[in-house]
A and B are shown apart, each in its own frame.
Chain A
Amino acid sequence: MRFASFLRAGCVLAASLAPLACSTAEAPAPNNAPGAGFENPEQTSMRAPVRLSLERGAEYAATGEADLLVHIDVAEPLGYPVSIDATPPGGARLAAGAPSETLRLDRAGRLTRVYRVAGANALRPEAPFRVVVQGRTPDNSMGFYAKKQYPPEPEITVPPRTRHVPGGRPPGFTPPR
């Protein structure tokens, strides 16, 4: 399935929102047909229904504003309502883009939202711009909660090994238990 029709649908849905609330982005071209793929001995994970990615867009030096692009990649049609909420940290504010919106993600593809943030230079990993997209079936038996922040959290880095076990591991001794 390709994305063009979905992208149009996404923008129509957002037509009533601020001008910056919807834009299109170059869509990836996955083969989203159910069951698509080749013979494959690896058992890969069931794909998350939705994935978010954030990227920093245009900068507006005169106003100190910057655009943050939120890409919503939908792996499969979702038959339940979905909401998106964008929250700037203290010291920053949304100059454009709806902070909350209800989405219909009933087609696979990519939807993009653009938020113009005033005070974007103040964004830090501990004071980030946050986006949450979530939805669930009425009985709550299925659902998702997708969150992303900009800048991203730093990953844990395990300190280098300072100790070494003789031989790298214990002997193959199974003790009495």
Chain B
Amino acid sequence: MLLLAFGACKVEEANNDDDDGGSGGRSGNGGSSGNAGSGGGAALDCGDVPASGRCIDNGTAIEYCRTPPPNDQGRQGPPTTVRVDCLAGVESCRELADGTAACELDQAAGVVCRPGDTLCEGDTLRACSADGKAFEETDCAADGQSCRTPPQQPAQCVAFSSAGGNAPRLSGAVKFERRGMSETGPTGITVDAAWLDFVAIYNGDKYIGSDVTDADGKFDAELTEPANEDTTVYVFAMDFDATTQQPLVAVVRNDDPGITTQTSTDYWFWSNKDYQGTNGQGTITVDGDNATMSEFVIPERDGAGALRVFQWIRYGMLRLDDPAGLTGSNGLESTKGKPQQTVAVFWSPGVDSVCGACFLGKQGGGALVKPKDTTTEDHYDTLMQISGSNGSPTHWSYSVLSHETGHWTMANYSRSPGEGGQHFVGQASKPGLAWSEGWATAFGQWNSSDTFGGEYDPVYFDTQDGTTFWVNIATAAYTGGALQKPDPAGGIDQFINENVVSSMVWHLWHPEQARFSAAPGGTDAGTYAGAGDDAMFRAVQSDRILRDQYNRGYFKVDLVDFYDAVTCGGGASDGNVGDVSADVGFPWDSDPTCP
């Protein structure tokens, strides 16, 4: 038995599998730190404890059922009941709208924040009171200051102002080595712009400015003091929440490949100084108050895969909410401005995750990043694990990266069925699992669409342990693929193949005559409804899906609930749903339950 706890709460877990690590705990946002846990009791049979968790002990703790993924031989370990204690006096357990149990602020007791938490909202400093029942606000701008959150320190008002257009600046560009994907696996190395990465600039140990790289890998940072030839530029695979200024998403080193790895000791970052001896890369040239840095290229051998991982996941999040317009829009109407759960992505070259690639939602306790030799502790709501070995180079598989982001969208904006187990390319599985996976794949291929000269990309690629495999969700269910089709005479709750689900969602989502990339499996087949991005996301966020009372068919949320939601909300007509279902033999009954 291993035991690990962190954050504001403690976690207790027991398992008779020595290879299975412990599970992390939960804490509040803002990187607040907490106490270590203590030993827990064994519970090898979950009984009726659900995967989505339930509240116990008068709402002071959560317990949920966790099953380790199958090992390389396909053996499934025993399910284990995991206990997560909520922070006494501040949090209480409650069931969220999606049925997930979570430690939330005890609002019934008047708690609105975690004592000690501080955050910046613009230039307003908000500090949580000692009893957690109020935020005390300070307008930093009133004193000519700005609100900032330095690592290891609470948010605070600091003198960080510039003279506008006359402020000193540093500009430059960053590129990285990456590989694409083909039917035979990762392609050769190409050099590409490092897009969406966080650039932090220091004079010695003093932070003097930052920016986010654009689509050309360029940055142009306003500085608090001029750069010099010895200025250090760091590039991080991370970004921050624009409101709280706390870390929002980051790729972190995967120190331990176990599924229960929830703590990392380092963020992925690179410095211009590591490349200055190579063909003049990363060299800073000063011209008065302005400086430029020559481009530097982060090679694969230095972990450039982390940049690829970050790029696709961050892009997927920004396509839904992008207040600064980094992707050219502000996100979808139905999702922009809504809070996003923070996510830490565990990846290291040569390290495979036990799960291959996976997402673990809030009920798993989140993740903690504690950079070595610092007192920084950053808590993340959720985590992903991404494999990085030669055999399973998931960092190059944008389909998988986007697919995992699809799971995050379900957790963030909708609800997960919380249904697991092994699942296969061509075979049917439980409807809840098929919905979760089918949605994630459909989202993932949407995420990688429109990025190749306006083309659509319907081909899911993955490489696992040396095997590259693909499914074209635009055609596989239509033109002779090898997917197990639904039984037209069966029930709406029948077991169903996840790629058939993603095919139906894809056809409902996209317009007819869509342009497709030159991809294995041809281009276009079946009926296209063209319901569009917002219709999809309005449906998955609607009460029809979020509320158990409307569920029909299979007892967990599944494709039928999505179909009901999209027709009830007017995102697609009954005829649209009927057409995309009939193409693959799914017995849509045209009898939605609407709120």
The residue on B at minimum CB distance from A162 is B274
**A5: interface (CB < 8 Å):** no
Residue A84 interfacial (CB < 8 Å)? no
Interface residues of A in 120-177 (CB under 8 A from B): 136-148, 152-153, 155-159, 161-177
Q: Determine whether the beta carbon of B66 is less than 8 Å from that of A45.
A: no
Q: How far is the CA of A156 from the CA of B301 in the complex (A)?
A: 6
Q: A-facing mask of B455-484, CB < 8 A → 1, else 0? A: 000000010111111111001100111111
Task: Flag if B374 contacts A168 (CB, 8 Å).
Answer: yes
Q: Which residues of B are found within 8 Å of A142, using beta-carbon distances?
A: 425-426, 469-472, 476, 481-483, 521
Name the distance in Å between B210's Cβ and chain A's nearest Cβ: 5
**Distance in Å: Cβ of B416 to nearest Cβ of chain A:** 8
Is B413 at the interface (CB under 8 A from chain A)? no
- Pick the most buried of A29, A49, A143, A152: most chain B CB atoms within 10 A of its CB: A143
Greatest chain B CB density within 10 A among A50, A73, A75, A80 is at: A75
Residues of B within 8 A of A148 (CB): 466
Contact A45 B210 (CB under 8 A): no
Q: How large is the interface on A (under 10, 10 to 19, 20 to 34, 35 or more residues)?
A: 35 or more
Report the separation of the CA atoms of residues A164 and B302 in the bound assembly, to the nearest whole angstrom: 15
The answer to whether B480 and A51 have CB atoms under 8 Å apart is: no
Across the interface, do A41 and B302 meet the contact criterion of CB distance under 8 Å? no
Collect the chain B residues with CB atoms within 8 Å of residue A16's CB: none
Give the residues from 20 to 72 in chain A that come closer than 8 angstroms, CB to CB, to chain B. Answer: 28-32, 34-53
Q: B418 and A156: CB pair below 8 A?
A: no
Residue of A nearest to B153 (CB): A167
Indicate if B555 sits at the interface (CB-CB under 8 A).
no
A79 within 8 Å of B (CB atoms):
yes
Which single member of B210, B359, B482 contacts A137 (CB below 8 Å)?
B482
| Residue from the list B150, B244, B356, B430 in contact with A44, Cβ < 8 A | B356
Contacts of B7 in A (CB 8 A): none
Q: Given A34-B429, A35-B428, verify A40-B419 contact (CB < 8 Å).
A: yes
Is B234 among interface residues, defined by CB-CB distance under 8 A? Answer: yes
B350 lies within 8 A of A138 (CB): no
CB distance B183 to A143 under 8 Å? yes
- A165 and B430 in contact, given A142-B521, A175-B210, A177-B212 (Cβ under 8 angstroms): no
Comparing B45-53, B87-95, B289-297, B538-546, the segment that makes contact with chain A is B45-53
Q: In the complex, how many angstroms separate the beta carbon of B301 from the nearest chain A beta carbon?
A: 6
Most buried by B among A29, A49, A174: A174
Q: Cβ of A42 and Cβ of B185 under 8 Å apart? A: no
For B466, the chain A residues whose CB sits under 8 A away are 51-52, 146-148
Give the interface SS of chain A, mostly helix, strand, loop or mixed.
loop
Using CB atoms, name the residue of chain B closest to A149.
B466
Give A24 Cβ to nearest chain B Cβ, in Å. Answer: 16
Q: Which of B263-271, B506-514, B529-537 contacts A (4 or more CB under 8 A)?
A: B263-271
* Closest-CB distance, A42 to chain B (whole angstroms): 5
Asked whether, in the complex, the Cβ of A139 is within 8 Å of the Cβ of B481, the reply is: yes
Q: Does A96 contact B (CB under 8 A)?
A: no
Q: B residues bordering A, Cβ < 8 Å?
A: 46, 50-52, 64-67, 69-70, 73-76, 79, 120, 148-153, 155, 183-185, 198, 200, 202, 205, 207, 209-212, 221-222, 232, 234, 236, 238-242, 244-247, 250, 259, 266-267, 269, 271, 273-274, 300-303, 324-326, 348-350, 355-361, 363-364, 369-374, 376, 378, 389-390, 400, 404, 407, 416, 418-430, 433, 436-437, 440, 462, 464-472, 475-476, 479-484, 495, 498, 520-522
Contacts A42-B355, A167-B371, A169-B378 aside, 6 further interface pairs with beta carbons under 8 A come to A43-B416, A45-B462, A144-B469, A158-B349, A169-B376, A171-B207
In the complex, 30 of the A-B residue pairs with CB atoms within 8 angstroms, ordered by the A residue number, are: A34-B423, A36-B76, A38-B46, A40-B418, A41-B52, A42-B355, A43-B360, A43-B437, A49-B426, A76-B426, A137-B480, A141-B475, A141-B521, A142-B469, A145-B183, A152-B390, A158-B301, A158-B303, A161-B266, A163-B232, A168-B151, A170-B210, A171-B200, A172-B120, A172-B148, A172-B150, A172-B244, A174-B324, A175-B209, A175-B210
Closest 8 A/B residue pairs (Cβ) = A37-B421, A40-B420, A30-B74, A168-B371, A167-B151, A141-B521, A45-B356, A155-B350
